[in-house]
């Protein structure tokens, strides 16, 4: 009997490996189609730049946090050129006060690049096993950019504010992130991105031999994590809410932003348990037919679909937020929930839609926004593989691997 059990275990292990190393014909075809779109439509020249840049958008704009997730997808094939090209293009346009616009073409003088620049730098440098290109002007520009964010901390509690919902990237979440040029919302998502950015700056400083600066960034990150838990966590509701800097009150809107402390690793295990069990997998809030809704279904301004051609973040499912939550679940040991989310997300993108879309209806799985989208939604197709490999390219300390090229024998 023992021999039979060992044989069964071996067969199951071989079967699992075969599943991860051989994508279905449909998935393989979709990836090849997606890559063709990126090569032919997503790698574009930019006026004033000597190199081509990467975008997921058919109208040719280059955005901030999109670049991070777009370049994670290309890292699956060992491609890092556009990671560094885009990063340099943004930093080369930095203003003397440290401001970096969140887009390259459209003028946005009051909307900074979200705190992802240092994370993008680490992603590309780990791929190339080389941080030396950051020595000198690019490191100093990252330092000024981090300092600029702290200029948005009006009450000096260590938490900067969003300019508006559009600034946050969750375009129409006005009820929690504010209206145009309001500068009122201390965003829990903003603080978590900044926490990771400080960690990334510490890694860069270490790699460049700036040990004292690395230690200072780590200490700053530790302080910020404590502030996030002290200010944003509501013990009664078991949820992280944003805060209105002007009134000092929590903004009691249940948005997907409340789960970013899972991705950042800031929540305690007890807090993570409450977030997941009371809210994330709650079918009346975020865990709809195709999770994760970006607003809880209980919010008065929740809706699905598109009314005016808008990018809807008041309930739709977006792949990058699914992806961050997925890795947060893995971090805290919720492997079964992570598996369900990974498989549901891939099914929604691959089986419910004939092409990759910008975002999705969380109740029906129908794709919405840009059609034939080749940006960050590409991550939907690889989440189950990352689960099986226990691989997280957003872990700032991990080696970045070309996992699609390695496991599925598919090149960009």
Domain assignment of residue 168, yes or no: yes
Q: Is the peptide bond before 91 cis (omega within 30 degrees of 0)?
A: no
Domain assignment of residue 1, yes or no: no
With b for 16 or more beta-carbon neighbours within 10 A and e for fewer, the 6-43 pattern comes to eeeeeeeeeeeeeebeebeeebeebbeebbebbeeebe
Structure tokens at 304: 């699905």
| pLDDT computed for residue 6 by the predictor | 32
Mean pLDDT of the chain: 94
Domain assignment of residue 309, yes or no: yes
What are residue 199's DSSP bridge partners? none
Digit-coded pLDDT (tens) for 295-323: 999 999 999 999 999 999 999 999 999 99
Whole-number Å distance between alpha carbons of 148 and 162 = 13
pTM assigned to the model: 0.94
| pLDDT computed for residue 49 by the predictor | 80
| pLDDT computed for residue 21 by the predictor | 59
Supply angle C-alpha 296, 299, 301, rounded to 5. Answer: 115
Domain assignment of residue 96, yes or no: yes
Domain span at residue 332 reads 32-394
Kindly state the DSSP code that residue 317 receives in the 8-state scheme.
B
Q: What is the CA radius of gyration of the chain?
A: 21
- Would you place residue 4 in the very low, low, confident or very high pLDDT band (cuts 50, 70, 90)? very low
Going by C-alpha positions, the residue among 159, 224, 162 that lies closest to residue 198 is: 224
Domain assignment of residue 128, yes or no: yes
Domain of residue 106, CATH code: 1.50.10.10
Whole-number Å distance between alpha carbons of 81 and 124 = 8
Interstrand relation of 43-45 and 242-244 (parallel, antiparallel or unpaired)? unpaired
Kindly state the DSSP code that residue 401 receives in the 8-state scheme.
-
User: What CA–CA distances, in Å, run from 87 to 39, 82, 122, 213, 360?
Assistant: 19, 8, 11, 22, 28
| Burial (CB count within 10 angstroms: exposed 0-12, middle 13-18, buried 19+), residue 167 | buried
Kindly state the DSSP code that residue 279 receives in the 8-state scheme.
I
Whole-number Å distance between alpha carbons of 298 and 67 = 32
Structure tokens at 342: 């990974």
Domain count, the chain: 1
Domain assignment of residue 101, yes or no: yes
Domain assignment of residue 5, yes or no: no
Mean pLDDT of 180-196: 97
Digit-coded pLDDT (tens) for 325-356: 999 999 999 999 999 999 999 999 999 999 99
Backbone angles phi, psi at 360, to 5 degrees: -140, 150
Domain assignment of residue 385, yes or no: yes
Digit-coded pLDDT (tens) for 10-27: 333 334 444 455 899 999
Over 90: is that where the pLDDT of 358 sits?
yes
- SS3 assignment, position 45: strand
């Amino acid at each position: 009997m023992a021999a039979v059990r060992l044989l069964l275990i071996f067969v199951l292990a071989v079967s699992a490996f075969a599943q991860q190393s051989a994508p279905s014909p449909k998935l393989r075809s979709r990836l090849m189609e997606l890559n063709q779109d990126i090569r032919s439509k997503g790698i574009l020249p930019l006026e004033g730049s000597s190199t081509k840049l990467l975008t997921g958008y058919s109208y040719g704009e280059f955005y901030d946090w999109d670049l991070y997730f777009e370049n994670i997808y290309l890292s699956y094939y060992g491609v890092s050129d556009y990671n560094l090209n885009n990063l340099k293009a943004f930093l080369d346009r930095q203003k003397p006060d440290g401001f970096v616009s969140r887009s390259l073409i459209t003028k946005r003088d009051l909307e900074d690049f979200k705190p992802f620049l240092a994370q993008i730098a680490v992603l590309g440098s780990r791929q190339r096993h080389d941080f030396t290109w950051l020595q000198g002007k690019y490191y100093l520009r990252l330092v000024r950019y981090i300092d600029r964010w702290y200029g948005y901390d009006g009450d000096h509690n260590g938490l900067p504010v969003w300019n508006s919902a559009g600034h946050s990237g969750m375009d129409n979440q006005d009820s929690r992130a504010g209206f145009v040029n309001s500068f009122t919302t201390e965003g829990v998502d903003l603080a978590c991105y900044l926490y990771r950015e400080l960690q990334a700056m510490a890694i860069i400083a270490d790699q460049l031999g700036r040990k004292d600066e690395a230690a200072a960034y780590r200490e700053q990150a530790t302080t910020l994590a404590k502030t996030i838990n002290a200010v944003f966590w509501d013990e009664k509701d078991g949820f992280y809410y944003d805060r209105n800097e002007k009134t000092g009150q929590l903004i009691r809107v249940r948005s997907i932003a409340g789960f970013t402390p899972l991705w950042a690793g800031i929540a305690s295990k007890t807090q993570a348990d409450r977030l997941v069990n009371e809210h994330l997998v709650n079918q009346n809030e975020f865990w709809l037919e195709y999770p994760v809704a970006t607003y809880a279904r209980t919010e008065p301004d929740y809706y699905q679909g598109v009314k005016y051609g808008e990018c809807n973040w008041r309930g739709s499912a977006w792949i990058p937020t699914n992806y961050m939550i997925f890795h947060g679940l893995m971090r805290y040991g919720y492997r079964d929930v992570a598996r369900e989310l990974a498989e549901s997300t891939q099914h929604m993108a691959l089986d419910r839609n004939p092409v990759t879309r910008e975002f999705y209806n969380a109740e029906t799985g129908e794709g919405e926004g840009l059609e034939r989208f080749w940006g960050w939604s590409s991550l939907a197709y690889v989440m189950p593989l990352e689960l099986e490999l226990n691989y997280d390219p957003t872990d700032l300390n991990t080696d970045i691997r070309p996992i699609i090229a390695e496991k599925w024998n598919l090149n960009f």
